Structure 1
Amino acid sequence: MSLTRVTHQMSQTTALANVQRNLAAMSKLQGQTSSLRRIEKPSDDPAGTAKALRLRAEQRALTQYDRNAADGKGWLTAVDTAMQTTSTQLIRARTLVVQAASSGTTTTESAEAIALEIEAVRDALLGQANATYTGRSIFAGTSDADAAYAAQPDGTYSYAGSAGTVDRRISEDVTVRVDADGAALFGDATGSVFALLDRVAADVRAGADVGPAIAEIDAWHNRTTSALATTGARTNQIEAQLSVNAGSMLSLRSDISAVEDVDLAETLVHLQAQEVAYQAALGATARVLQPTLLQYLS
């Protein structure tokens, strides 16, 4: 049976190693106390680090969804404003046409005044049809055209929009359309609401019967009110999703905190215990490192 000889130098080495180990543990706890973070580097908790990275990726995605939703609300607000004004202008056009149709024989001056007002309505509608949000037409689909509509030399109005839609993803599985179909709301070429009002203005000047145009204006107004309802529903959908996203964000923050952050009270208790252990290790090491008689004699 062999006995392992424990030399004084071995005792010193062991004691110093214990001191260093206690000092490192105490330093780590002090760092956690000051930063309030349990994971300061990946090696502290590889599994926790992986989970934290996944949670933060979800948090970034949710933040982007909220940005998309805010932008989408901006689009829909612009669409709603333009269509509300369009509705008002169409009601005004109807009033003017009813006035012209029911007045019977009118003077040239009064007919001209009504025709000019109808043309003013046409211009106002054209302005709304070319409304933009952040520099993009809200009625031109995905087209990058400067304006959705343009008056042509032949008296028609051409539509420069595309069939594509402007959409915003507001959650992992929810996408909302945030523009409106200009061609459906205002028409195109000779079939546009602008061309209709041009024709009505000309008929008023000529003293022709404009009564049938009332039903046509009503049809255009019905399109507008229907589109307004759709826009309102989409806005409500975005607002509801923003509320859901807010709840998800709170949950994510809580989950991230549970993984990354320290329990301060618990950490302070561990730190105090580690400080006691460190002081004890220092005391023991000091005794081991005291010079012996043999060291003086050697």
Structure 2
Amino acid sequence: MSVNVPRVKFNNGLTCPILGLGTWQSNPGEVSRAVADAIDIGYRHIDGAHLYFNEKEVGEAIKEKIKQGVVKREDLFVTSKLWNTYHRPDLVEKAVKISLSDLGLDYLDLYLIHWPMAYKEGDNPFPLDDKGLAIPSDADYVDTWKAMEKLVQKGLVKSIGVSNFNSVQLTRILNVATIKPVTNQVECHPYLNQEKLFQFCKERDITLTAYSPLGSPQRPWAKPGEPHLLEDPRVTSMAKRLNKTPAQILIRYQIERGVIVIPKSVSKSRIEENFNVFDFELSKKDIEIINSLDCNGRLIPQSEGRAHRDHPFSNPDIVF
């Protein structure tokens, strides 16, 4: 598919394709095929993380597509994320090198602090107490950020940013940063359109990246009877009128806002469907209808960290 995907310009002058493939919940054995299919279809932006436990398989697909001559390394934009147990500054470089080794890459295009909460260091990614709550580390994400900046200086990563940070936490970073975050990757879909946080970031020249843009229908903690964004009649009727799928409507919505969007799928047909969003536009009225769906409907609560001092969603007075 010959499509020139628009690119978003970061505050450091580098650019990122506005549409990428998400790999959260893509199992080993599925994800390598999904990444290979995505590259064949035309995706050049792959979003991953150490915590997804599938970076080796992602790397295998990238290596194969480079070997086949489908792409060069510089054609691809690859993201990974620093997990919560590596926030201590002396562990940050170790963490990125694990991801680079797993991916088989010399550098990352983007590296994010996955969450602002630091967990107890060690091999267990989810160290929990007897109440099922995350055991915190003393590390402060401001100090973690200073260590992230060194990764840029060493050439291990080209850009750095954050994920799941609220406005207060972002402000603390900006107050000390010598390298500004280029993006804040957050849950973002019409039930949680993040308009306030989007504007907050935009005013500071920080892009927003939307994960779970389709409402994370496969989230393992979903309860029976919970609203299903892809089946919302306001979305499905719009899709029918425009001869598009509900997923295409939701992805196009983010693109028209200027939000980087990373829908996840392991199905080749859906990966292709999600990419086929550059041949139509939503009207101003369509955007207004989609915006009206917002109900602060957060689907990814990170519940094991809810008692952590740096949990980003615990204070209702803060812009998330």
Q: Shorter-normalised TM-score: what interval?
A: under 0.3
TM-score by length of 1: 0.20
Greater strand content: 2
Which entry has the higher C-alpha Rg, 1 or 2? 1
Greater helix content: 1
TM-score by length of 2: 0.19
